[in-house]
């Protein structure tokens, strides 16, 4: 039998440490009992090597395929849309139009472990919602062709009660997207997910697997309306859920900002120099028999009377009591008339905020009616059903991102809808002087031909996302006209706006040449050279420099907020200096690299340099690689 002494003399359990680290990185590899499932590990290496077996876990039809889909790399990229961007030169906010699973995969190159907070409001699976089609293989006619011809729209899978995969369809979508989204969260990151009663129990099980059951924080109940709906057949529903998980057990500070009503509880009847205070009971709910170590005699300093509670223990040990006395933290009432003391709690000690509760009242978090009115005032009546109020998302943000060091973080929403999260981030930054950045992702799902949205000119949901956030920017700018603004507010106005990107095919053509078995080796070699020439022609003709640069920088891990500056020192090639504040590099996508340019980087081997591989002959490529080592990269 292992004893306490064994723990002192034994060396560290390295195997246990490795398993603990594995669970932090890949919680979905472990059973609900906490054991490593070796079959899940094998699936990550070769999915076809494992036959499905039953064990105690949450399973549904299509789960394994959804997981494989989540971790299958994408060849997609993002193209910058300057025309629809707003204040692109000064903002660091991003709106991406595209299918969210593919977009999340693209973002893993640049934003892994960088997102502080995710808020999503996914489809609720009521039988009327649309679900996303996850088949985005370039070899098939699917997403790309449909998005390039907007008139044909986006083909989405309906999800009706008559479909035997009613729940499975929804779970497939959520599971794959949450698996990828988790990789984007910082170790101290948090995700909020809005949900109604239909799938909340399934959502909790999926999140337990993706994030780890131990990382569940709270199921918030939001009062979405104050009046009952008489249209309900049985019970009216006035609330919704907001499930919250953290990425890991790294310490995070979750506090609710203090309110005027909370501060009103503090006063200073004894003119304590430490300022306003309130008081709490000094007695313990436990009886004397239960906590004998907390039973002792105390002295009323006003009367000199020695006091011991007749039935209950005190809350604190005797030495702590003596410290409270020395610090003048015991309140015996005016002139010492209280029978038992209370402990002073100073407002100055509460600067971190208040511990939040799991009930969000409508007056603090807004309502669906308020959200509808809010959206109508920005972009028109009835263009988007059941939006969330910006106040709701602001409340979540203010809980998680309330410290100064976190006010310069990234907030992600990959079910952006009408764009509430972007609106909320801008509101909160204006309110507290923060510099949070948002990334919104919305598929260009067609609006109904007979809808108010279509009549208002919005052909897709993503157009609504963009229009709403543009209207928010314009409203703040209009409100500031003619006013004397301090420097901080001017900086807040500068960061309002967003850059728009669209999910697109890779600028680099696929190299999937297959020899013709009916031809000999020499003939196939000739075919291969023709194939390469055709692909190079496609790269030259079909795509512009800006699209190539964007894709290359994304694949090199640059964030979408990168800036480009043309370098005049290069006279024979167009070379840019690219930086996103963390990464930096020189880059050119010219078809031919001049000797002068090559010589410069041969002499400046401390600088990172990126170019197109076909711009170099064998000698130039060898020399640059030999001199620059990992600082040189050719696509």
When pLDDT is cut at 50, 70 and 90, the band that residue 271 belongs to is very high
When pLDDT is cut at 50, 70 and 90, the band that residue 587 belongs to is very high
Structure confidence at residue 1 (pLDDT): 43
Mean pLDDT of 312-322: 93
pLDDT, tens digit, 9 for 90 and up, residues 39-51: 777 777 776 666 6
Least-confidence region, from 93-102, 290-299, 397-406, 542-551: 397-406
Residue showing tokens 């208002």: 456
Torsion angle defined by CA atoms of residues 609, 615, 620 and 622, in that order, rounded to the nearest 10 degrees: 70
Structure confidence at residue 358 (pLDDT): 92
97 pLDDT above the threshold of 60: yes
Distance CA(199)–CA(171), nearest Å, equals 9
Cβ-based burial of 138 (10 A; exposed 0-12, middle 13-18, buried ≥19): middle
Structure confidence at residue 390 (pLDDT): 97
When pLDDT is cut at 50, 70 and 90, the band that residue 406 belongs to is confident
Structure confidence at residue 4 (pLDDT): 40
pLDDT, tens digit, 9 for 90 and up, residues 544-577: 788 889 999 999 999 999 999 999 999 999 999 9
Long-range contact set of residues 348-355: C-beta below 8 Å, sequence gap at least 24: 348/274, 348/275, 348/276, 350/258, 352/253, 352/255, 352/402, 353/255, 353/256, 353/257, 353/258, 353/402, 354/255, 354/256, 354/257, 354/258, 354/262, 355/254, 355/255, 355/256
Distance CA(493)–CA(71), nearest Å, equals 39
148 pLDDT above the threshold of 50: no
Quickly list DSSP for 89-136. Answer: TT---EEEES-HHHHHHHHHHHHTTTEEEEEE-----SSS-EE-----
Mean pLDDT of 498-524: 78
When pLDDT is cut at 50, 70 and 90, the band that residue 517 belongs to is confident
- Tell me the pLDDT of the chain averaged across its residues: 84
Report DSSP state, residue 459: -
Helix, strand, or coil (residue 79): strand
Alpha-carbon Rg for the chain in angstroms: 30
Report DSSP state, residue 236: -
161 pLDDT above the threshold of 70: no
CA distance to 75, 168, 422, per residue, from 439 (Å): 21, 28, 8
Q: Return the structure tokens found at 480.
A: 């500031």
Quickly list DSSP for 159-182. Answer: --TTSTTHHHHHHHHHHHHHHHHH
Distance CA(384)–CA(426), nearest Å, equals 20
Structure confidence at residue 261 (pLDDT): 80
Please, are residues 70 and 177 in contact by the beta-carbon 8 Å criterion? yes
Distance CA(569)–CA(203), nearest Å, equals 56
Structure confidence at residue 352 (pLDDT): 66
Higher pLDDT, 553 or 165: 553
Structure confidence at residue 52 (pLDDT): 58
Helix, strand, or coil (residue 600): helix
Please, are residues 420 and 386 in contact by the beta-carbon 8 Å criterion? no
What contacts 617, CB < 8 A, 6 or more positions away? none
53 pLDDT above the threshold of 60: no
Mean pLDDT of 101-115: 94
């Amino acid at each position: 039998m292992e004893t306490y002494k064994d723990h002192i003399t034994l060396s560290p359990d390295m195997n246990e440490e490795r398993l603990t680290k594995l669970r932090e990185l890949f919680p979905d590899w472990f059973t609900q009992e906490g054991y490593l499932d070796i079959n899940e590990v094998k699936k990550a290496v070769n999915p076809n090597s494992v036959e499905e077996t039953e064990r105690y876990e949450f399973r549904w039809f299509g789960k394994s395929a959804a997981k494989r889909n989540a971790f299958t790399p994408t060849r997609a990229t993002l193209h910058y849309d300057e025309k629809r961007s707003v204040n692109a030169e000064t903002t660091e906010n991003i709106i991406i139009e595209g299918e969210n699973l593919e977009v999340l995969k693209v973002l893993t190159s640049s934003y892994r472990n960088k997102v502080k907070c995710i808020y999503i409001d996914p489809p609720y699976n009521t039988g009327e919602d649309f679900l996303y089609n996850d088949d985005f293989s370039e070899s098939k006619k699917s997403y790309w062709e449909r998005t390039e011809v907007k008139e044909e729209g986006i083909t989405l899978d309906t999800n009706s009660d008559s479909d035997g995969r009613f729940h499975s369809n929804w779970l497939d979508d959520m599971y794959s997207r949450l698996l990828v989204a988790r990789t984007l969260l910082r170790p101290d990151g948090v995700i909020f997910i809005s949900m109604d009663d239909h799938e909340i129990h399934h959502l909790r099980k999926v999140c337990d697997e993706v994030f780890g059951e131990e990382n569940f924080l709270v199921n918030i109940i939001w009062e979405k309306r104050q009046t009952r709906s008489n249209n309900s057949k049985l019970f009216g529903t006035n609330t919704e859920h907001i499930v919250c998980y953290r990425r890991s057990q790294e310490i995070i500070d979750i506090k609710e900002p203090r309110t005027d009503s909370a501060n009103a509880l503090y006063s200073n009847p004894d003119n304590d120099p430490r300022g306003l205070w309130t008081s709490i009971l000094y007695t313990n709910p436990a009886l004397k028999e239960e906590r004998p170590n907390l039973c002792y005699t105390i002295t009323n300093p006003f009367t000199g009377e020695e006091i011991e509670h007749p039935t209950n223990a005190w809350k604190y040990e005797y030495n702590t009591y003596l410290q409270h006395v020395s610090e003048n933290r015991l309140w015996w009432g005016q002139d010492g008339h209280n029978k038992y003391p209370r402990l002073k709690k100073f407002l100055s000690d509460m600067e971190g905020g208040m511990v939040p509760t799991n009930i969000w009242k409508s007056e603090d978090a807004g309502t669906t009616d308020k959200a509808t009115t809010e959206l109508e005032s920005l972009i028109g009546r009835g263009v988007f059903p059941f939006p969330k109020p910006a106040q709701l998302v602001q409340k979540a943000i203010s809980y998680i991102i309330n410290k100064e060091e976190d006010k310069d973080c990234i907030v992600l929403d990959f079910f952006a809808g009408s764009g509430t999260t972007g609106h909320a981030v801008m509101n909160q930054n204006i309110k507290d002087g923060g510099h949070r950045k948002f990334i919104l992702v919305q598929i260009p799902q067609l609006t109904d031909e007979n809808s108010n949205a279509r009549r208002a000119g919005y052909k897709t949901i993503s157009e609504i996302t963009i229009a709403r956030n543009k209207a928010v920017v314009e409203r703040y700018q209009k409100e500031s006209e003619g006013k004397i603004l301090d420097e901080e507010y001017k900086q807040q106005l500068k960061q309002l706006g967003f850059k728009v990107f669209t999910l697109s095919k890779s600028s680099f053509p696929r190299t999937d040449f297959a020899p013709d078995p009916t031809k000999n080796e020499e003939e196939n070699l000739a075919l291969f050279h023709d194939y390469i020439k055709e692909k190079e022609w496609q790269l030259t003709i079909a795509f512009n420099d800006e699209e190539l640069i964007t894709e290359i920088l994304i694949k090199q891990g640059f964030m979408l907020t990168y800036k480009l500056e043309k370098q005049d020192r290069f006279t024979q090639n167009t070379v840019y200096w690219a930086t996103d504040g963390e990464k930096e590099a020189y880059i050119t996508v010219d078809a031919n690299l001049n000797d002068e340019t090559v010589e410069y980087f041969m002499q400046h081997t401390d600088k990172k340099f990126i170019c197109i591989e076909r711009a170099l002959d064998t000698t130039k490529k060898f020399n640059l690689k030999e001199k620059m080592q990992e600082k040189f990269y050719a696509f």
